[in-house]
């Protein structure tokens, strides 16, 4: 996670507050602590959970769905399938997480006494239909579940049984597509129903309605959408899927997703949908929010910046840190830190990253310009370091006993872009991204992805520099962002360390 420099930390907040592929944020408060969960799609473990004391600095404390029994993602789960849009709430001394697995299990409910885990086994909700489920409790203890559409049903959260029939409660703004991401909040005299609409692309926005009862009827805000950047040249786009939370001083704030396009037309975003923070003001009983600023004044309460995250992971622990994610599952026979002390061992299942069953361990790219390096020992196997968007869009630098190659997969095309003899033994593989800073051509891509090797003295040899637009959502489609990490494509490949660091966007690649 990015930590602002010292002067900025004293005067301003930099958005996004959780950079990289962290979409569909849902937030809750428990005493002086804040917790936030995001969608995870086809990756395992699922639903990253973050903690904050100030709404600005967030630390990942775990993943809610970190056991195979909690998260079933069959081999046929497509990219951008899997886990959609969690809602995280604190009620009656417990944490509640409701989410949709669109790849088979439907809507599921989990509970925990500690949001860092462990979380319960899933409680199926077979009679809750639709995606993006929300939970809210009224004064008499009735739990209301509202889903995209926007429909609502009473729910017994102890058994998963619905109480009565579901019914539509609001269809959003006439003519606006995809009313989704409902969140119901009781604030003052009203129940406020917050939704996203307009689609999760450039037309995305946030609208709100209010009623005296959690069941409505709901009156739409005359200023809807209360937040959108559609039709603007704002550097943050696709703003939507918001949730509300009260700050330590009683003020109100919104967490939401947005993207940061780079390059020419139409603008390409490569990091996925990220989590942003915006202040909320109230006018005539309505929550209003203006544009989402890249930088905004710091809130009027103490900030609690965490220690800077380590650049390097030496794989010395018995388990991987929570930011590491894999494709659909992570069987110990294919991924372990226990086989060779201080090394991550990957055993291939699938001949390349084109295969949905590929063995891959990565972390989200969180900065437009960054560098990732890994010390790889292929032994008699084959594997390397990759930048992945999905099975049909990825770049990788791969080492085998006799050769180092750069592969590029873009849609139906797969090619070896460059190769050189392998040095023998472990080799440092490197990927570096450099964001476009000055657009001189409307067709100019968002960044350049450099792939190469380092020698024993740290001298970098670039084997290929590829246009980053082909690893963007605007090209590939879907809902995810880039993930950078290690993979095995044949045999057993071991990795001694992995490091990742943000680069100054004003600095050209080395």
Pairing of strands 180-187, 161-168: unpaired
Q: How many other C-beta atoms lie within 10 A of the C-beta of residue 120?
A: 16
Of 71, 141, 139, 75, give the one whose Cα is nearest residue 105. Answer: 71
Paired residues of 43 in beta bridges: 327
Exposure of 314 by Cβ count < 10 A (0-12 exposed, 13-18 middle, 19+ buried)?
A: middle
The dihedral built from the CA positions of residue 467, 473, 478 and 482, taken in this order, carries a sign that is: positive
* Structure token digits, residue 5: 């420099």
Neighbour-count burial for 421-457, b at 16+ CB within 10 Å, e otherwise? ebeeebbbbbbbbbbbeeeeeeebbbbbbbbbbeeee
Exposure of 307 by Cβ count < 10 A (0-12 exposed, 13-18 middle, 19+ buried)?
A: exposed
Q: How many other C-beta atoms lie within 10 A of the C-beta of residue 402?
A: 9
- Which residues, 6 or more positions from 295, have their beta carbon under 8 angstroms from its beta carbon? 8, 12, 13, 14, 15
Query: Cα(483)–Cα(497) distance, rounded to whole angstroms?
Result: 17
Known catalytic residues are 24, 180
Of 75, 126, 118, 138, give the one whose Cα is nearest residue 100. Answer: 126
Collapsing DSSP to helix, strand or coil, 251 comes out as coil
**Residue linked to tokens 């395992």:** 44
Pairing of strands 83-91, 94-101: antiparallel
DSSP string for residues in 381-417: SEEEEEEEEETTEEEEEEE-SSEEEEEEEETTEEEEE
**Residue linked to tokens 């058994």:** 159
Strands (DSSP E) contained in 337-467 are 344-347, 359-364, 370-377, 382-390, 393-399, 403-410, 413-421, 427-435, 447-454, 460-467
Exposure of 338 by Cβ count < 10 A (0-12 exposed, 13-18 middle, 19+ buried)?
A: exposed
Question: Quick one: three-class SS letters along 196-217?
Answer: EECCCCCCCEEEEEEECCCCCC
Of 261, 269, 225, 247, give the one whose Cα is nearest residue 13. Answer: 247
Query: Cα(452)–Cα(90) distance, rounded to whole angstroms?
Result: 47
């Amino acid at each position: 996670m990015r930590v602002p420099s010292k002067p900025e930390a004293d005067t301003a907040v930099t958005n996004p507050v959780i950079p990289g592929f962290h979409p569909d944020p849902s937030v809750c408060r428990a005493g002086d602590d804040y917790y936030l969960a995001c969608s995870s799609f086809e990756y395992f473990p699922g639903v990253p959970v973050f903690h904050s004391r100030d709404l600005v600095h967030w630390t990942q404390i775990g993943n809610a769905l970190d056991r195979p029994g909690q998260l079933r993602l069959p081999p046929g789960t497509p990219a951008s399938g899997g886990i959609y849009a969690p809602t995280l709430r604190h009620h009656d001394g417990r944490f509640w997480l409701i989410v949709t697995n669109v790849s088979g299990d439907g809507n599921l409910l989990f509970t925990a006494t500690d949001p860092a885990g462990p979380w319960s086994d899933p409680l199926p909700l077979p009679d809750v239909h639709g995606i993006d489920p929300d939970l809210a409790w009224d004064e008499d203890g009735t739990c209301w579940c509202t889903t995209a559409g926007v429909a609502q049903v009473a729910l017994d959260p102890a058994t998963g049984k619905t109480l009565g029939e579901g019914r539509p409660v609001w269809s959003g703004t006439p003519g606006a597509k995809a009313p989704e991401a409902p969140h119901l909040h009781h604030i003052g005299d009203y129940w406020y129903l917050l939704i996203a609409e307009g689609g999760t692309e450039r037309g995305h926005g946030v609208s709100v309605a209010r009623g005296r009862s959690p069941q409505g009827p709901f009156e739409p805000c005359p200023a809807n959408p209360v937040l959108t950047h559609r039709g603007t040249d704002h550097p943050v786009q696709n703003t939507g899927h918001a949730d509300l939370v009260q700050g330590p001083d009683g003020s109100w704030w919104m967490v939401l997703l947005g993207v940061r396009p780079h390059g020419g037309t139409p603008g390409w975003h490569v990091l996925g949908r990220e989590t942003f923070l915006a202040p909320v003001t109230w006018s005539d009983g309505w929550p209003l929010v203006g544009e989402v600023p890249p930088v905004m004044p710091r809130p009027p309460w103490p900030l609690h910046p965490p220690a800077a995250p380590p650049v390097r992971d030496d794989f010395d622990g018995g388990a991987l840190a929570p930011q590491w994610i894999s494709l659909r599952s992570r069987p110990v026979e294919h991924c372990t830190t226990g086989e060779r002390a201080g090394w991550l061992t990957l055993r291939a299942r699938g001949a390349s990253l084109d295969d949905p069953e590929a063995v891959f361990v990565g972390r989200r790219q969180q900065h437009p310009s960054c560098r990732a390096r890994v010390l790889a020992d292929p032994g008699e196997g084959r594997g390397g370091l990759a930048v992945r968007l999905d099975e049909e869009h990825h770049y990788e630098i791969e080492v085998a006993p006799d050769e180092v190659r750069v592969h590029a997969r873009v849609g139906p095309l797969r090619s070896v872009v460059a190769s050189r003899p392998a040095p023998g033994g472990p080799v440092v593989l490197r990927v570096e991204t450099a964001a476009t800073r000055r657009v001189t051509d409307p067709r100019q891509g968002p960044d350049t992805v450099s792939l190469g090797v380092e020698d024993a003295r740290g001298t970098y040899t670039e084997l290929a520099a590829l246009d980053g637009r082909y690893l963007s959502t605007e090209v590939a489609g879907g809902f995810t962002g880039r993930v950078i990490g290690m993979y095995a494509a044949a045999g057993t490949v071991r990795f001694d360390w992995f490091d990742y660091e943000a680069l100054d966007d004003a600095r050209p690649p080395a």
